[in-house]
Structure 1
Amino acid sequence: MQKIFCLLFALSAFLSTGMAAKADGQFPVTIEHALGSTTIPAEPQRIVTLGWSGEDVVIALGKKPVAMTEYGFFQSGIFPWNEERLSGFRPQLSKGETDYEAIAALRPDLILAVLSGVDDVAWQRLSAIAPTVVYRSGPWRADWKEQTELIGHALGKPQEAHKLITDSADFLRSLGDAYPVLQGKTFTFATFFKGANNLVVYLPSDPRVAALTELGLTVSPGVAALAEANPSKISVNVSLEEIERIDSDLLIMWFGDGGKDAFEAQPLFQTIGAVKRGSYVALDDPVSVWSTSALSVLSIPYGFPKFVPRLAEAAHRAEQKQ
């Protein structure tokens, strides 16, 4: 009886992921996600990725998408950690998620939009073109683990995807362990756009914040309070006058064109606790911005070995000022 119960419990836990129990290379595959159910009848050959970093997982699993998102920060429009793996292959690049005619013209047999803002209407239209897999969590909420798991199953490579997740998580933990000064330090992750009068502060449900906690960092009390007050959001606006609400050991910010200079020119900039302590970390080069924002099993090992030492240096400075 106990053996039967254990088997039933294991089956229930597995089915809760929305995936069928298949070894690598087995089709058809059916995936349950936030907008419904998608069945991929055979191994996909013409894959289109929408949103952020889905192409990273496809490429890491040995396939090359026929089309993917264009990232204007880079001259080629392609992340450098992907460009070196594409070996000269040039996918079609897209700036949006809803150019249905252009997507249909590519004759895809699979569309992947896991870290994206695709809603039910868009999913229905995309699904009329090809089987379309979106997020389980919500629009723009899928972390790198969710994205890898879903895409791995869609490509018929769940075991290979699981190993990528395990290896990447181990990599993050080992990086954190290599810098004991980071353990338990509080942080706030935010951005500022030129012309604005507020910060955009990312909450724990945002993938970039979740990844930093795997290093041993802790979300600042102010951000945790904002998350409790805004349970359905992944980011909130905080005025510059209220920035002390989110003070933390480390203030990490990414910037687009002109944003860094505009933020640092604000009269209140020098009053920020992290700035006074020397523990403000500014990310404004394309690699540091995108490897920490569009997280994936390829961007983490590419960008984090340079990013994490900067955090450790800032944490040391913060300790010296205490």
Structure 2
Amino acid sequence: MNRFPSVRTRGLTRRHFLIGGAGATVALLAGCADGSGGDTGAGASGAPAAEGFPTSVDHQFGTTELDRAPERVVALGWGDGDTLLALGVVPVASVDWFRAYDDGFGPWARERRGDGEVEVLTGPEFSPEGILAQRPDLVTMTKSDNDRSVYEMFAELVPTLSGPATDISYGTHWRDQTRLIAEVLGRPEEGQALIGEVEDAFADARARYPQFEGRTCSVVWWDEASYAAYVEGDTRVDTLRDLGFVNSPAIEELRGGDGFTVDVSREEAGLLEADVCVVVSMQPAERIEQDTLLQGTAMAREGRMIVLSDADAQNAFSMGTVLSLPYALDLLLPQLAEALAD
């Protein structure tokens, strides 16, 4: 099940890029170093390499190389914008996956964004021409649906960074996302330091809340028609696992394919049972409280179900980046502890 924006590719070919797009491709090629496109570097021919460059980063679809620090980065991957900001780079365009913020970034990232002008991409589909009109010298899509054709479409024209090989769409772990982007920017040490800070936050949380260890959890997307339970490899589940929880075995038994959720019918709400359940939704909490089937489960009756009604908490938890995770933990940890209190 895929609930995220995507790049619209139907009917588009390299020829369309080269002759159309309201001049987007012409502008892009004019700004590229050697006019050849592809992952061959964004620096001006013969320009001296900056510290940390050239860079060469392997990912699931090939290798991305840069001769110098990029100046116009488009963040297409989920959470890539956060990660760039954490590394001191303000992207020229970034995806607001949940259309939650006018400026495209949550409160955990706003200070780092500063006054830089960022084009906010909302979808549900993105126009490649619109993206290329930003004249990027780097496109990042480290956390995506792993569509090779989309990667190749951009990589023909501009250095493009994909994520590691994963068996689940949008399944790039925040550690890998941070590492890959830091490496292509020539800042691997900064990336590792950021990773270490978040790992320390998780270690501190596990020390403060030993009652989480080994307890089962479920994370559920709620809508009117059905439920969707997230599986291991999804950011939300991985966050709870990093706190010591174990995703519900009943949910894991339902998984198949490369999706990050499994569908659960309303009549099977009992399959969502766990020691603690976290519910996320685009709907108001009041609607979820009126769901008699879900509210009839033992976890709901006993106060072990957490509805993340705070939009910032929900977005930070769902995005799962080096910037959003500490923010999410501050809001989520007390609720998890209360849910498991005797």
Q: Percent identity?
A: 30
3-state SS in 2 of match to 1:281: strand
Query: Hey, what does 1:80 align to over in structure 2?
Result: 107
Query: Hey, what does 1:11 align to over in structure 2?
Result: none
**Structure-1 separation of matches of 2:295 and 2:222:** 15
Q: How far 1:187 sits from its partner (Å)?
A: 0.5
Structure 1, residues 279-304: CA drift from partner, whole Å, max 9, x if none? 10001222111111001111012221
Which runs of structure 2 are paired with 1:150-189 in the superposition (5 Å)? 150-189=180-219
Q: Cα RMSD (Å) of the superposition?
A: 1.8
Query: Hey, what does 1:142 align to over in structure 2?
Result: 172
Query: Hey, what does 2:122 align to over in structure 1?
Result: 95
3-state SS in 2 of match to 1:268: helix
Task: Identify if the C-alpha distance between structure 1 residues 93 and 270 changes in structure 2 by more than 3 Å, giving closer, same or farther.
Answer: closer
Q: Tell whether 2:326 aligns with 1:301.
A: yes
Query: Hey, what does 2:35 align to over in structure 1?
Result: none
Task: Identify if the C-alpha distance between structure 1 residues 75 and 284 changes in structure 2 by more than 3 Å, giving closer, same or farther.
Answer: farther
Which runs of structure 2 are paired with 1:250-265 in the superposition (5 Å)? 250-258=276-284, 260-265=285-290
Q: Is the 8 A contact 2:53 2:69 kept in 1?
A: yes
Q: Which moved more, 1:270-279 or 1:95-104?
A: 95-104
Q: Is the 8 A contact 1:48 1:68 kept in 2?
A: yes
3-state SS in 1 of match to 2:259: coil
| Of 280, 285, 290, the match for 2:305 | 280
Q: Tell whether 2:234 aligns with 1:206.
A: yes
Structure 1, residues 174-213: CA drift from partner, whole Å, max 9, x if none? 11221222222210001112x31x2110001112111211
**Structure-1 separation of matches of 2:288 and 2:237:** 21
Structure 1, residues 155-182: CA drift from partner, whole Å, max 9, x if none? 1111211121122112112112212222
Normalized per residue, the structure richer in helix is: 1
3-state SS in 2 of match to 1:226: coil
Q: How far 1:118 sits from its partner (Å)?
A: 5.2
**Structure-1 separation of matches of 2:293 and 2:267:** 7
Q: How far 1:28 sits from its partner (Å)?
A: 2.2
Structure 1, residues 258-292: CA drift from partner, whole Å, max 9, x if none? 4x333332231332121121110001222111111
3-state SS in 1 of match to 2:292: coil
Gapped regions of structure 2 (runs ≥ 5)? 1-49
Gapped regions of structure 1 (runs ≥ 5)? 1-23
Q: Tell whether 2:82 aligns with 1:56.
A: yes
3-state SS in 2 of match to 1:150: helix
Q: How far 1:216 sits from its partner (Å)?
A: 1.2
**Structure-1 separation of matches of 2:146 and 2:214:** 36
Q: Tell whether 2:62 aligns with 1:36.
A: yes
Q: Tell whether 2:302 aligns with 1:267.
A: no
Q: Which moved more, 1:204-213 or 1:65-74?
A: 65-74
3-state SS in 2 of match to 1:303: helix
Q: Is the 8 A contact 1:221 1:246 kept in 2?
A: no
User: Which residue identity does 1:151 align to in structure 2?
Assistant: I
Structure 1, residues 8-64: CA drift from partner, whole Å, max 9, x if none? xxxxxxxxxxxxxxxx94222222222222222221111110132101111111111
Aligned length in residues? 289
Q: How far 1:231 sits from its partner (Å)?
A: 5.5
Q: Tell whether 2:321 aligns with 1:291.
A: no
Task: Identify if the C-alpha distance between structure 1 residues 311 and 181 changes in structure 2 by more than 3 Å, giving closer, same or farther.
Answer: same
User: Which residue identity does 1:145 align to in structure 2?
Assistant: R
TM-score (norm 1): 0.84
3-state SS in 2 of match to 1:274: helix
